[in-house]
Every structure is written in C-alpha cells, then in structure tokens.
Structure 1
Amino acid sequence: MNNSADFTVKHTDSRRYVIECRNMLYKFHLAASYKKKNDSWEIGSIDPPHSCIATNVEQDHRKLSATSTYNYTPSYKKAWIASTKAVEQIFGNWEDSYKELPWFLWALKTYVPRTVAIMETLPAIMSDGTCVTGNRIFHRLFWAFDLCIKGFASCKPIIQIDGTWLCGKYKGTLLMVVAQDGNNNVFPISFALIEGETAGGWGFFLRHLRMHVASQANLCLISDRHAAIESAYNNHDNG
C-alpha cells in the first residue's frame, strides 16, 4: 500500500486469504492462513517479492478510502486494535452487545410490528461442566422485516443466499437472502446469524425462511453453498 499498489482477492474464507497483484505483468502472489492455536493470521508465502510500483494513486483504486489516499497505515493489526477500541467506546464491548440483543429484538417487534425475529440460546456451562441457573448463551438468530416479507410477494420467484464470516472475539456466519424486483433491483428479504455453516445452522435458517418468508411453491434458490444446504435438507428429512 505504501507504493499505491492495488491487488485482487483470488480466494477468501474463514481459513485462507489469497491475493494477487492487479497488474498482470507482475506475478505477485500472497497467501495467508488463520492459525487457531494463536488466534491470528499468518502469511504463508510471498512469491515473488512485490516489485510493482504505481506512481500515481488511481481514482478507481478499490482498496483505498478518501483518507488512505493521503495517509497509509503500515500495520493492519494496529489499525484493527484502534478501530476495535473506538467501537467499544461508542457501542460497548462484545459481551455488552450480546446482552443487549434480547432488548433490541423486543424493541424491533414493538416498534416495527409483524417483524419476524427468532432467537435460539444455549445453557451457560461452567468450566467444571455445571449449568449456570438463569443464564443463557446466544446461539442463533433469524429476522425478517414485515415490509420485506410483503415486498417479496411482488418479486420474481428467485432468491439468492450468501454468507460471510464474522470477525472479532465471537465467530459465526451472517447469512442474507435477496431477491429481485420488477425493476431488476436487489431486494433484501431476510437475515440470520448462525454458529457456522453447519447442517444445524443451515436447517434453522432455511426452516424459518420457508415458514415466514418464502412459503410459495416452485421457488428457485441460488447459492454457492449447495453442499451445506443439501446436508441440512437431508438431515431434516432424516429427522
């Protein structure tokens, strides 16, 4: 970034991150992987050393913001720590945010009537295996706004599902379903937070999607998570 070089993300998931130089004349390739033992990302290979230098910052540079054009931060880790502390000062820490979730859902249902919000929790277990009385831990959440549910009835009978991994202290996956309206605009219809792309998590999400949002027959579903969805479907049939 100090040389104003742009890059293309070739592969990204919860375990690997691979980039290549956007300039095809240079065969620069960098691969990093997540190390669970250290709870950190480590660069595994850089081949060859990056020699591409852009003399000017392009206007369509995809990795720069308005401020980064003039001020580059050499350490992503320091920037991440600083941004995390800033978020905590404004919104509270991770634990406080999860404690506020039931109140947020109550407010959502109260002031946005007919909104669907379904949360699942797990018992809180001590390190010695005993259950904490009167204490529960967040597990999964599905929500869909009433206007989105109503609007989907006028959309094309096609839905697309995608997900992204959560970063920070608590891991998980954010899922989102979108449709397409008559003007070919993207129309979001439902969301979910699950523990990961497990059969149980997908089953929870798809079950409530079908029950509360997309109950019509002959619906086309598009997703690159076909293996996980098929596993959830088979487990549901067996159960």
Structure 2
Amino acid sequence: MDLKESEILGDDIEHHWYYASKAKALMKLLGNTHCNRILDVGAGSGFFSRYLLAHSAAQEAWCVDISYECDSDAMEGNKPVHFRRSIDALDTDTVLLMDVLEHVDDDAALLKAYVDKVPAGSRFVISVPAFQFLWSGHDVFLEHKRRYTLTQLEGVVRNAGLRVRRGHYYFGGVLPLAAMLRLGERLRGPQPPRSQLARHGLLSNCLLGSLCHLELPLARFNRAGGLTVFCLAEK
C-alpha cells in the first residue's frame, strides 16, 4: 500500500471503508488455503500483512519497501513483523503485491524478480488500479505509471512465469460514482495532483462499506468492471 495514503488516514485506516473492504477481498481471494509466512512487497505500513496476521493462521510477515529508512522489527499481537528495505530470498507460501506494479516502469520484471526469490507453490495476491479512463490527479499524486484491465494484469502475471488461478474486478458498486467524480475533475480543468482518498464520517463510511460488503460474495465472478483488479496466481 502507498505510504502517502497511510499518512492521510493515520490510525483510521483499518476502519476506512476502502481499506477495510480491500482487506476482506484479499482474505476472500485466499480462501481456506494455508497461509503461514507472508512476504509483503511494497508493503508501506504493512497494513495488509498485519490484517492477515490478525485474522488468519499466518504466523509471520516480512514487509519489503525501499521507502523504509532502515530495517526494523515489530509485533502484531504475538506474531513477528519484519520490515526490510530489500530481501534476497524467503521460504514463504504467500506473496502480496497490493497496489505495487502500477508504480514501476517494468511491472513484469519486478514481479519476476520476486517470483525468483520464493519456492514453487507460493501463491501471489496482486492488486492494481483498474481502467486507464479513470486516470486522474489521484494517480499523478501517487506516482502511478498506468492503470490496468483484468486481461492486461493477467498477461503481466503470466509473463512473469506465474500460473493464474483466479482474477476479478472489485469495487464495482462504487465505479459509477468514481467515474463521475473523475469526469467532473476533467471538466474543471487542470488541478493540483492530490489523493481522492479522505477520512469519512460514520454514515458515509458505513454506506460505502456496506455496498462493498454486498458485492464481496459475487466478486470472484466480476470480469466486467470495478476500481481495482485482483489476481491470485501460483508459482
């Protein structure tokens, strides 16, 4: 996840409708498969790996991000979380790249680099922002290079040597609202780049979270559209 957004939301991040819903979608995508040691690439604050440690049988997380000032260690409950600027190899069963590939010039090369660091059988959960027509100052602020369709992401995953197990869009229920907001931004003309993520009041947070919760059981069948593309793959 992006540290810029983590700084905006602060301690409210785990209750924010967007991140809470995305974490639940991550859990849904992994399903009942065993998860023990997590490698979280481009982890930022480590929100998603910490969520898995708190809500699954996972026992340990390694969070890798070049933005860390130094290596450090922490705990999530009684489970260790290791923050590292880089890592050579890891015996892991689950690799997360949550909103990472859109930040680099060569997405397949970055993904392949981490495929080579983990054993066969490792599962990769990848999320990226969907649809280039939704490009806005939000993407510029977060230093994105591109947005993806589901087909494009699956192509990158295969080019990196992974087997696609499942892919789908998510946040389909809020896609029309986001599209209207970004169309309005274009009609207003050039604006300073800024994140469209913001803290919400209790009512709006509950409404948006409930909309995403209703979508979750059917998300795996959604190859039509949403704000985010998810892919589950295996080495």
Q: TM-score range by the shorter chain?
A: under 0.3
User: Highest relative contact order (Cα 8 Å, sep 6+), 1 or 2?
Assistant: 2
Query: What TM-score do you get using the length of structure 2 for normalisation?
Result: 0.20
Query: What TM-score do you get using the length of structure 1 for normalisation?
Result: 0.20
Greater helix proportion: 2
Structure number, greater radius of gyration: 1
